[in-house]
Structure 1
Amino acid sequence: MSLRKIDPKQRGFLIVNSHPTGSAATVTRMWEEIPARPTGPGPGPVVLLLGHSAGYGLATLLTGLRRHNIRGIGVAYEAPETERRTAGAGWYRTAAAARLADEAGHDVVFVNTDAFSDKGKAEVLDLMRERFGKVDHLIYSLAAPRRTDPATGSVHHSVIKPLGRPYEAPSLDFSDHVPQVTSIRLEPAIEEEKQATEQVMGGGDWHLWVQALADRDLLADGFTTAALTYIGSELTAPIYREGTIGAAKEHLERTGRDLNTGVLAGRGRAFTVVAGAAVTQASSAIPSIALYTAFLRTVLGEAFRTTAQQAQDLWDQLTGTTPLVTDNEGRIRLDGWELDPRVQEKVRDLWSDPHKGLARSAEGATWFLGRVRELYGWGVEGIDYSAPVETTVAWPQR
């Protein structure tokens, strides 16, 4: 037990500690905002969700539970509490999600392990075989700064850099807790950095997971796997879609096509899923994305679709509740609301003079920072941050 008063350790968008009660409250709020749906008699589909504790992975978990009675295993790699730091926000969110699932009678298990490792895969798949059997849906939503190749032992580190030429653009800065526009310049990545980013964020590990399921005869009839990706606006393309991250996402999409013609041929189907913009721990670290997202929120207001709303669209399509919405490359598209030409035209207008744009988007910038803080459990309405809080929270028992 560790009851103590904690304050956020924040510099700009970087926050290194988490508030357990605030983190749990964000999960409860998302859960309550998802419209429950009668699922009918009998158990729902068996799901293996890789990366369940944050962002789209968390939204996919909660939406699947609330609307489709999914059961199965969630996998994340979260840091426990130490003498110097709280546990990671994803640790606290997992505990809250497990409590809500248990109260609602859902059969879901959470494993804290390195999903990139052979040991982690074996642990999860042994548990899957023993408790649930064959898998109906594999959702791949892992985000990490590095990955150890299980075949070679090499450690690859991802980088956020442009390709081919330097990148100069406006960026949103909160160093003094007041939003302001600054300018950033990034030199282009070298080939080794591009390849390392593909190793971390591309489709190599996704393929290994599908192959491992197939090797263990754990693919259910009609098996479907989906990996989350992003395209975004032409405004951020030089640092995202045309940069090292974009190269990794293209690798992910090629992997999906290879799965369909390879291990899943006649046995299942693989999709990449293009989600819309969101405030996540991963996206807040990408230069210019914060300013772009603040402008997008200014343009859309409450029409800015949450991760849970997008996850609802995804589950409805994967389960056949609604028709699949795919592009000419076979990708499921959830980002039409963001890339609507009328929306992008208004965002471009703000971007054309970012200082004036920020003055017109003060509410959007404040909203963005608030959402970043909430990722770590800070600034959540209804939480008394002056009171001591129990920071020692157990990982959910199996």
Structure 2
Amino acid sequence: MIIKPMIRSNMCINAHPIGCAKETENQINYVIAQKAKRGTKTLAEGGKAPRTVLVLGCSTGYGLASRITAAFEYGADTIGVSFEKQPTQVKGGTPGWYNNMAFDKAAEKAGLKTKTFNADAYSDECRAEVIKQLKDWGAKADLVIYSLASPVRTDPDTKVMYRSVIKPINQVYSGASLDMMTGKITQASTQPAEGDEIPNTVKVMGGEDWERWIKQLSEADVLADGCRTLAYSYIGPSLSHPIYRDGTIGEAKKDLEKRAHNIDAALKAKGGAAYVSVNKGLITRSSSVIPIITQYLGVLFKIMKKQGTHEGCIEQMERLFAERLYTADGKVPVDSENRIRMDDWEMDPKVQDEVNKVMPAVTEENVNELVDLDGIRHDFLIINGFDVDGVDYNKEVTDMSKIEY
């Protein structure tokens, strides 16, 4: 069959297996090139590097990029966890399924230990499987990446399922909604959170589950002395604060940061540490449907590309490892809240001043001039394996469960 993207309201509902695999390979090739460029040394080569890395939420975005960097630049053995839809010969799976398959194939070829669990990372059963795998390897994790993003979470103790929402608090939020495929701009409004939507969102997207992971891994004695753990977050510009930082998701992220201090205190006894890494805004499946965010990112990308400071997932995570986590002096640069600021280039006052000048001027007539429409469209499509260089999208895919090309 010929597979074309199926897009509805800035959401892509299918994936191209070959495109996903090829994009994963492209990211692997990038970090291999960066290893040579930087002169990065693995642990076996006498460098500062992780030995065994656990990535929770390993299949797409920052989680996948973190796992690729850990394995292919720093030589680490990795365990990944994500919950994906498995394909059949005639029915496609989720992008993350194909990404994980491509990662495992490449890691095994490179002689790296790899294990990917397709499981609910919020469950204690999954934690038990990961602990068993570490013990079977005779290994202890010295880096744990927490990059989970899900609309739902079932509490392991109560078995109650909670749902998260992206809503403002105590006010209606209105803003321009840019259709990146057509360039059309409409006004969209989001109603404020109601009832238990705020605590439920914190329950799903806050730090409770991260803290539970570290506690159970520590009690099982599968964390190495000096283990570091990171969770990923976003703050963004003031124009998005009502829907993000000051909204339901923002409340969850504040909880994440608060719990990072608890985890940090618990790990310090054995020389470890916990951080929240505040990352740059990128086109993701969730950000694509939030009012104003797509237009903001399109303007931001145009400005940062002109300055030569734009980064995608893999570029940013590679810089996180090289210039924050595994520095020559062993120190991790942080802000006053003990956060790693990978959004430093995005939030540069000069960049934000330029963004603020351009945003009000964007119209459908000048959108191609002021917004990096091609760039955000490309980033949106590659999430699902489309618009990837080197892939023949007119070629028949005879088996949706395979990634050979």
**Bucket of the pairwise TM-score, normalised by the shorter protein:** over 0.9
How far the C-alpha of 1:5 sits from its partner, in A, is 2.8
Q: Contact 1:89–1:376 at 8 Å: present in 2 too?
A: yes
The question of 1:234 aligning with 2:231 is answered no
The question of 1:140 aligning with 2:143 is answered no
How big is each residue's C-alpha offset from its partner over 1:100-152, in whole Å with a ceiling of 9 and x where there is no partner? 21222221211111000111111111111111421101110011111111111
Structure 2 Cα separation of the partners of residues 90 and 345 of structure 1? 36
Q: Which residue of 1 aligns with 2:279?
A: 275
Structure 1 portions without partners, runs of 5+: none
Q: 2:183 aligns with which of 175, 179, 185?
A: 179
Structure 2 Cα separation of the partners of residues 303 and 164 of structure 1? 36
Structure 2 Cα separation of the partners of residues 227 and 75 of structure 1? 15
Q: Which residue of 2 aligns with 1:218?
A: 222
Structure 2 portions without partners, runs of 5+: none
Q: Contact 1:170–1:354 at 8 Å: present in 2 too?
A: no
SS in 2 for 1:227: strand
How far the C-alpha of 1:390 sits from its partner, in A, is 4.2
How far the C-alpha of 1:376 sits from its partner, in A, is 0.4
Q: Which residue of 1 aligns with 2:87?
A: 81
The question of 1:309 aligning with 2:309 is answered no
Q: Contact 1:179–1:366 at 8 Å: present in 2 too?
A: no
SS in 2 for 1:389: coil
Q: Which residue of 2 aligns with 1:379?
A: 387
How big is each residue's C-alpha offset from its partner over 1:132-174, in whole Å with a ceiling of 9 and x where there is no partner? 4211011100111111111111111110100111101112124
Aligned-partner residue type, residue 5 of structure 1: I
Deviates more, 1:25-34 or 1:222-231: 25-34
Q: 1:318 aligns with which of 314, 320, 325?
A: 325
Structure 1 Cα separation of the partners of residues 173 and 119 of structure 2? 36
Q: Which residue of 2 aligns with 1:331?
A: 339
How far the C-alpha of 1:288 sits from its partner, in A, is 1.8
In structure 2, do the counterparts of structure 1 residues 270 and 38 end up closer, same or farther at CA, with 3 Å as the change threshold? closer
Q: Which residue of 2 aligns with 1:121?
A: 127
In structure 2, do the counterparts of structure 1 residues 390 and 83 end up closer, same or farther at CA, with 3 Å as the change threshold? closer
| 1:338-349 equivalence runs, <5 A | 338-349=346-357
How far the C-alpha of 1:84 sits from its partner, in A, is 7.2
Deviates more, 1:8-17 or 1:240-249: 8-17
Q: 1:6 aligns with which of 3, 8, 11?
A: 3
How far the C-alpha of 1:13 sits from its partner, in A, is 1.7
How far the C-alpha of 1:224 sits from its partner, in A, is 0.8
SS in 1 for 2:197: helix
Q: Contact 1:159–1:193 at 8 Å: present in 2 too?
A: yes
TM-score, normalised with respect to structure 2: 0.91
SS in 1 for 2:238: coil
Deviates more, 1:13-22 or 1:102-111: 102-111
Q: Contact 1:81–1:391 at 8 Å: present in 2 too?
A: no
How far the C-alpha of 1:282 sits from its partner, in A, is 3.0
Q: Which residue of 2 aligns with 1:31?
A: 28
In structure 2, do the counterparts of structure 1 residues 17 and 260 end up closer, same or farther at CA, with 3 Å as the change threshold? same
Q: Which residue of 2 aligns with 1:108?
A: 114
SS in 2 for 1:168: strand
Aligned-partner residue type, residue 22 of structure 2: A
Structure 2 Cα separation of the partners of residues 139 and 366 of structure 1? 31
Q: Contact 1:13–1:369 at 8 Å: present in 2 too?
A: no
In structure 2, do the counterparts of structure 1 residues 386 and 61 end up closer, same or farther at CA, with 3 Å as the change threshold? same
Structure 2 Cα separation of the partners of residues 362 and 386 of structure 1? 32
Structure 2 Cα separation of the partners of residues 241 and 344 of structure 1? 17
How far the C-alpha of 1:8 sits from its partner, in A, is 2.0
SS in 1 for 2:232: strand
How far the C-alpha of 1:356 sits from its partner, in A, is 6.8
How big is each residue's C-alpha offset from its partner over 1:159-211, in whole Å with a ceiling of 9 and x where there is no partner? 0100111101112124xx41122111111102410111111111011011001
Q: Contact 2:11–2:285 at 8 Å: present in 1 too?
A: no
Q: 2:288 aligns with which of 281, 284, 291?
A: 284
Q: 1:264 aligns with which of 250, 267, 278?
A: 267
How far the C-alpha of 1:41 sits from its partner, in A, is 2.5
Q: Which residue of 1 aligns with 2:164?
A: 158
The question of 1:299 aligning with 2:296 is answered no
Q: Which residue of 2 aligns with 1:251?
A: 255
Structure 1 Cα separation of the partners of residues 21 and 89 of structure 2? 21
The question of 1:202 aligning with 2:184 is answered no
Q: Which residue of 2 aligns with 1:41?
A: 44
SS in 2 for 1:338: coil
How far the C-alpha of 1:31 sits from its partner, in A, is 1.4
Q: Contact 2:90–2:400 at 8 Å: present in 1 too?
A: no
How far the C-alpha of 1:56 sits from its partner, in A, is 0.4
In structure 2, do the counterparts of structure 1 residues 258 and 40 end up closer, same or farther at CA, with 3 Å as the change threshold? closer
Q: Contact 1:12–1:173 at 8 Å: present in 2 too?
A: yes
In structure 2, do the counterparts of structure 1 residues 77 and 394 end up closer, same or farther at CA, with 3 Å as the change threshold? farther
Identity %: 34
Aligned-partner residue type, residue 238 of structure 2: E
In structure 2, do the counterparts of structure 1 residues 191 and 254 end up closer, same or farther at CA, with 3 Å as the change threshold? farther
